[in-house]
A and B are shown apart, each in its own frame.
Chain A
Amino acid sequence: MHGAVVDIVSTLSTAGYLFIVSAGLTLIFGAVRVINLAHGSFYMYGAFLLTTIVGLSSGTKFWLAVPVCALALAALGALVEVTVMRRLYEREHLTQLLATFGLLLIFGDLALHLWGTGARTVAPPVPFHGRFTLAGATVPAYDIVVIGVAALVGAGLWLLLTRSMFGWRIRAAVSDPETLACAGVNTKLLMTMVFALGAGLAGLAGAIVSPQSSVAPGIDQAIIVSAFIVTVIGGLGSILGSALGALLIGLAETLGTRYVPDWASTVIYVVLIVVLVARPSGLLGAPER
């Protein structure tokens, strides 16, 4: 029983940050049909930026630093969209992949200049450091924060996409951008905002996960693989799918670590392959043309 509670919290916590990253990736893909390899860079920058801001003052600034990181990365995302991504929308997926791969390399190099090569750690903010007891099991307190933020992001995205004018326009842009433009909507601005939102989510995920794991160069390349696995399992472009994919990967990682620790890092690939053999477009994805 205790083991089960620990597993559930661990699964949800892993799924939580994977969902925040992947939701950004899949949101961008859904609206502009570009897979952004540099999404991992936004995540890494969010994490590094948090360590910098928290390092500037005492740890109590953590809660202020998280939204600052998200906003800063949204701004960087908007800049990247206007300067580079906008030229890629009508191009082949090869061009898109390679151009964003180029961006990933550039951002990775610049990060070395900005934050050095060493690993950084951040202590969890005060009420959530250490562990606490839940239904008789001891779990890391900070896990609850990650789960809570992921739930908020999920609910927020759902409200945004289904209940706001902005969300309606995004969904309209997905199905028919030309008609939307004819209706007087500034689709260029809309795409920039979607891209900024996605980048902001990546920055938020990086900031929120930094107390859990060390922040070091290379996490950009590592997270993009995880995020791809989650989004591909869920189906590219489907936010609900990325939530399902994140849960599945979180579960696979938790159970893998518990039962087959030697093979834990390979279990998620097996899950991916099994899902894609059964459904080549992911769980909730539409078949690619």
Chain B
Amino acid sequence: MAGEAVLPRRPTRLVRSNGSGVGRLATARLIATPIVVIGLLALLGRTLSINNVLTLEEVLGLAVFAMATNLLLGYGGLVSFGQAAFYGSGAYMIGLSWLHHWMSFWPAFVLTPVVGAVAALLMGLIALRTRRLYFALLTLAFSELFYQLVNVRYSFTKGATGIFAVSMIPASLAQPRTGYYFTLGVASAAILLLWKITVSPFGLVLRATRENRERAEAIGVNVFRHQLLAFVISGAFCSLAGALFAVYGQSTYPDLLNWTTSGQPLFMAVIGGMFVFLGPALGALLYQVGFQYITQHTHDWQLVLGGALLLVVLFRPDGLSGLVLSNPFASLRRRIRGADSGVTEAEATSILEQVPATVTPRSVDQREQMEVPPDG
């Protein structure tokens, strides 16, 4: 699918470096977009009703979950059915710290990404030894292992009962609007950081490994190490999203770790569009608003969810944002701008050559020894 997909949009660094008017415009837009979006969301926090603010708060947490998962899915081409393990770990970090009086909320919250990163490192070291389908199934099994562990250790985790307590978070955060602004702040910082990662040399090499693993290996990229790093970063952000869930839900229960929970961010990324950075966030909004609307009228949420997923992957694999970007206006705009705005396949692979910083010295040697670069 990756081959037929919309190519990733031109990375910022390259846009800025050409120094033309278009480049400056793009830079201005890149700075303005987050300010406008965050400002708008902050304004909504004051004007919307409490119920809608709470919905939006959950959307923000889910958006972090979906975008962290999409670092693997859209950028790395890795289908992980195990992200719920990290999501649940984050929520349980908050819940268990409260239950066992390990530490107060704030240090626990700061530690959640670390917990997720460590869990992801351990899981990734084993799971990334396998490829494609085996990887998807192995991450699924790992997720289920976490689920079972939490389920059977009743004295430690309260098992299937879960932990429900408003006092697991500071009283101020339990106020809907304060909680919303806290979540908005954390989610914005997390998403900006994720964006920075996706346009960094690391992010570009990760995309290259998705497009053509053999070719990336041939020019000296250590694919395993890049994928492992992506897995750890994704785990850390998924765990943070889980902590945001604890702030929103003031509870934590085993279903957060179940493998079907791992399906949710995949669903959001696919519906919203996994080849556009903000696509999964759009998916999270659609998912949550759709969930609230549909469950008001019918019990068949799963039916709608499954049906939508099936139709999108069969007929619109690049999701809703793919639909928007492929509209006639977009192609017209591209024509007006000329060849400058599109990235050809040759350019995309040549990006690899421009990032020697991430190439290990040993593999640079290997590249020099290779007289003729292998084709494809």
Contact = CB atoms under 8 A, between A and B. Distances in A.
A166 B260 CA distance: 36
A263 B150 CA distance: 11
Contacts of B302: 105-106, 108-109
Nearest to A265: B148
Contacts of B126: 273, 276-277
B140 A225 contact: yes
Nearest to A233: B141
A263 B134 CA distance: 25
Given A98-B313, A276-B126, A280-B129, A91 B1 contact: yes
B306 A266 contact: no
Contacts of B303: 105-106, 109-110
A236 B308 CA distance: 29
A43 B121 CA distance: 35
Contacts of B132: 93, 288
Contact of A94 (B1, B142, B145): B1
A266 B149 contact: yes
B81 interface: yes
B142 A269 contact: yes
B interface majority secondary structure: helix
Given A225-B141, A266-B149, A269-B148, A99 B131 contact: no
Contacts of B343: none
A163 interface: no
Interface in B255-289: 258-260, 263, 266-267, 270
B79 A104 contact: no
Contact of B310 (A106, A221, A229, A277): A106
Interface string A75-98: 000000000100110011111011
Most buried by A among B136, B151, B313: B313
Nearest to A232: B137
B128 to A, nearest CB: 10
A272 to B, nearest CB: 5
Nearest to B274: A94
B1 A92 contact: yes
A97 B270 CA distance: 12
Interface residues of B, number: 45
Given A93-B79, A105-B302, A228 B141 contact: yes
B81 A269 contact: no
Given A228-B140, A277-B126, A101 B134 contact: no
A263 B307 CA distance: 37
A262 interface: yes
A interface majority secondary structure: helix
B174 interface: no
Interface string B310-324: 100110010000000
B306 A265 contact: no
B310 A97 contact: no
A141 interface: no
Nearest to A263: B152
A98 B1 CA distance: 13
B138 A102 contact: no
Contact of A98 (B2, B149, B260, B270): B270
A225 B134 contact: no
B83 to A, nearest CB: 14
Most buried by A among B140, B149, B301: B140
B57 interface: no
Contacts of B2: 92
Nearest to B154: A262
B260 A109 contact: no
B144 interface: yes
Interface in A108-139: 108-110, 112
A276 B310 contact: no
A99 B270 CA distance: 11
Nearest to B77: A94
Interface of A: 35, 84, 87-88, 91-95, 97-99, 101-110, 112, 221, 225, 228-229, 232, 236, 262-263, 265-266, 269, 272-273, 276-277, 280-282, 288
8 contacts: A88-B314, A95-B314, A105-B305, A225-B140, A232-B134, A236-B133, A273-B142, A281-B130
